[in-house]
Structure formats: C-alpha cells, structure tokens
Amino acid sequence: MSIRSLLSLGLLATPLVSALPAADWKATSCSTSTSHSTSHSTSHSTSHSSSHSSTHTSTHTSAKTSAVVTTTTSSASNTAQTTTLLATATGPKGLNDYAKKAGKLYFGTAADVPGTNETTDKYYRAELANKHDWGQVTPANAMKWVFTEPEQGVFNYTEAEIFLADAASDGKLVRCHNLNWYNQLPNWLTQGTWTNETLTKVLENHVTNLVEYFGDRCYAWDVVNEAFSDSGTTGSLADNTTWRSDLWYNTIGPGYVAVAFKAAEKAVKAKKLKVKLYYNDYNIENAGAKSSAAQALVKSLKAQNIQIDGVGLQSHFIVGETPSRAAQSSNMQAFAALGVDVAITELDIRTTVPATAAEQQQQVVDYASSVGACADVDACVGVTAWDFDDAYSWIPSTFPGQGYGDLFFQPGGYNTPLVRKAAYDGCIQGLTS
C-alpha cells in the first residue's frame, strides 16, 4: 500500500515534518522531458536482513555547539518533539551545503532515472535538481550489469548516459554503481555454463569496459557489492561461511574480488583516471563479524598491492535499531586506520507503517546519529540517501508492511508537492553538532 493510500485512509499518524522554513527548495523548475519508456521491473531487491543489536539511543554530545539548531517542543497536533532550525538568509540552505560546511565532499542521493515514474514526476525532479540538498547522485539501476551488458560482449550505455547527462548538467558528483554483484545479472550470465577461467574473463571484460568507458565521469565506482554472507561468525576470509554463496564465489572462489579490483585498477592506470575504487556492503556499519570481514578484505587487497580506495557503508537501517553515533564513527575509524576512505552510500531508515509519532521522532535521532558519525570522521567523504522520497523507495516492495524510510514524502502521490520530514532536520543536526 502506498503512502498516498495510507494517508487517504487516515492510517498514517500525523507526519512529523521539517521545521525548516520553506526556503527555496521548490523554486527549481523542471525542464526535462525525457520520453524514455523502458521500465525497470528489476528493482533493488536484496534481502537485507538486518540484525543490529546495538544500543539504540544516540548519546553523542559534542563541544561543537551550533547556533542554528535548537530543540523545542511542538504544539498542537504533533505529540512528538520536533527540531527547529533557525536558518539564516546567507547560511547553508540544504543538506549538501551543510555537508560541505562540515568538511565533507557531498550529501547525495540515489535516483532511478531514466525509465521510471521518477523521471516524469516534476516535483521529484525539481527536488533532485536542488543542489543545496544534493551534490552527488548514484544511479539506482542504470549501470547494473543487466542494463550495461545485456548480451555477452554487447555493452549498452544508453540509460547510463541519460543519467550522467542529468548529473553533469547539475554539476553533481556521481558514485557509479556497480561493477560486480550477485543480483540484477542478465540471463546469459546466470543461466550460462561457466568455468573458473571463462567466468574470470567475463568479469575482467565487464569491469575493464565500464571503468574505461565512464572514466572520470565517475567520482567513485562500487567495484564489488555485497560479497559477504549474513551467516558468517568469524569474519575470517578463510572461513567459507564468511562469503555469500553466489555465482562468483562458487565458480571463481574468494579470489573473484581481487580479480575485479585488479581489472579496475588496470583500467584506472591505462586511462590515468582519478576514480576511487570502493567495496560496498550492508551490515558492516558497526563492529561485528561482517565488518571484520570487510576490514580483512581491505587488508588482503592492500597486502597484494591491489588498489582499493574506499569502503561504502550502505546503512539501510531500521528505526530504533540504528547503531549509535559512537558505534558508527568508531567502525568508520577502524576502516580509516587501514588507509581507506569511507562513505555512507545507501542511507534509509525504515519502520513499520503507519509510523507512530514515537517512531517518527526516533527516526530523527537515528538520521542524526548516522549522518553525525560521518561528520565526526575525517575519512568519511560523504553521505548518500538511497533515494529521498518515500514514493520511490525500494523498501515497501522488499519489506512488506515497512516504509517511511526516506527524508521526503508526497502526501498527494505521484506528481504532487513533496514534504520534508523532520528526519531531514535530523541530518542537519548531525552535521552541525
């Protein structure tokens, strides 16, 4: 059920909305009229089984007090507390402005453009074009293998080019996503018969083509996505329960990750690129076996003199189960100590719908903890939301009964004005305190 129908049925608690002045976020008009009709039936469909057991209260306090954030109790219909942001006329006007002020490179978002309703929703597109909020974009689908190499050796960059053209016209950084994953693969790959040698060649060819073709239009590449299983307990790379049992692991063995990174590095060197090479995964956002495995992977690649520049912490969190700011920042520091950057790459914080007032208030705290952890760690380059509008979130279709994970929603549904949630203010709170 959509947010729209929940609202119309009166099932949604009064949403806790941003207390920021309306500012100029709606002023950007949308002039794009792409008539691209390919539909992406394959959505982001991992089954992220989160099992965070950390304490759920953000107890972070900082000496950096900020004049722009105060907390007040709201009156009238909202029973929960809300955050009031006293924005100044000349100061930062949105998430990306605040992130830059905090020393980060960007605050960004994933977007599933072209070929979806996001493409034609002019209110969604106007907010996507708001550079005060979004200084970086990640294509949610357009660069995945099923779209970029639909037939073996036949590369199709049509959708990726449309995405990149939009990003370039807005002057946004692009995190390119992704070169290797077990999901959203074309049939020729999943239904083929492969040996270690033939699949290794296929992987090298794909990585080489994409890295060389897109070049420095990508700020970063997620070279390998989600290589680790959720059932591993030791974090050791020698323990086969550490690895996700998939086409790559089962055919090539754990060395497939090095194969992908080596091919990416070779392309970077051949074309003299600056693009950063990342490993990206979920449930590696606080200490635990899976984070240990990712740290072991960084060490192993570095020991083999293979380029790895960063680790992407997906951060698909759950309201009330989000790791604390301290737990997230110390985990980031553990990666930084190995000589890599980190980034929050797919942030959303879901809950059961309708979200109660208490859950909405907790979501504000959880966004502040997550974004704040990145602000606390120099090696954290930026934060990417896994889209910003509940109307287009992957959550309800993947986790039935859950949603409300993003920073904006559309009470009127498709092609109607967006409303900022108080969670948006939580992000600013994280960046300023």
Ligand X SMILES: *[C@@H]1O[C@H](CO)[C@@H](O)[C@H](O)[C@H]1NC(C)=O
> What's the rounded Cα separation, in Å, for the pair 159 and 368?
34
For residue 236, the minimal CB distance to ligand X (Å) is 12
Choosing from 240, 337, 339, 358, the residue that interacts with ligand X (CB under 6 A) is 240
Which of 393, 388, 404 lies closest to 318 in space, CA to CA?
404
Residue with smaller CB distance to ligand X, 213 or 338: 213
285 given a catalytic annotation: no
Residue with smaller CB distance to ligand X, 111 or 368: 111
117 binds ligand X (CB under 6 A): yes
Number of residues that bind ligand X (CB under 6 A): 14
Which of 220, 117, 209, 217 lies closest to 161 in space, CA to CA?
217
51 binds ligand X (CB under 6 A): no
81-85 and 69-73 as β-strands: parallel, antiparallel, unpaired? antiparallel
CB under 6 A: which stretch of 42-50, 250-258, 278-286, 302-310 binds ligand X?
250-258
- For 351-378, letters b (16+ CB in 10 Å) and e give bebbbebebbbbbbbbbbbbbbbbbbbe
34 binds ligand X (CB under 6 A): no
For residue 220, the minimal CB distance to ligand X (Å) is 24
Quote the DSSP letter at residue 271. Answer: T
For residue 240, the minimal CB distance to ligand X (Å) is 4
Residue with smaller CB distance to ligand X, 215 or 255: 255
- 113: tokens are 């453009």
- Give the phi and the psi of residue 336 in degrees, each rounded to 5: -60, -35
Residue with smaller CB distance to ligand X, 74 or 300: 300
Choosing from 133, 159, 359, 390, the residue that interacts with ligand X (CB under 6 A) is 159
Residue 280 CB neighbours (<10 A): 26
Contacts of 324 (CB under 8 A, 6+ apart): 54, 55, 56, 57, 58, 59, 60, 369
Choosing from 253, 269, 270, 417, the residue that interacts with ligand X (CB under 6 A) is 253
- Give the phi and the psi of residue 290 in degrees, each rounded to 5: -70, -40
> What's the rounded Cα separation, in Å, for the pair 33 and 46?
31
21 binds ligand X (CB under 6 A): no
Residue with smaller CB distance to ligand X, 42 or 156: 156
196 binds ligand X (CB under 6 A): yes
Contact 301, 258 (CB under 8 A): yes
Quote the DSSP letter at residue 152. Answer: T
414 binds ligand X (CB under 6 A): yes
For residue 204, the minimal CB distance to ligand X (Å) is 12
The residues assigned a catalytic role are 346
The binding site for ligand X (CB under 6 A) comprises 38, 117, 120, 156, 158-159, 196, 240, 245, 252-253, 255, 413-414
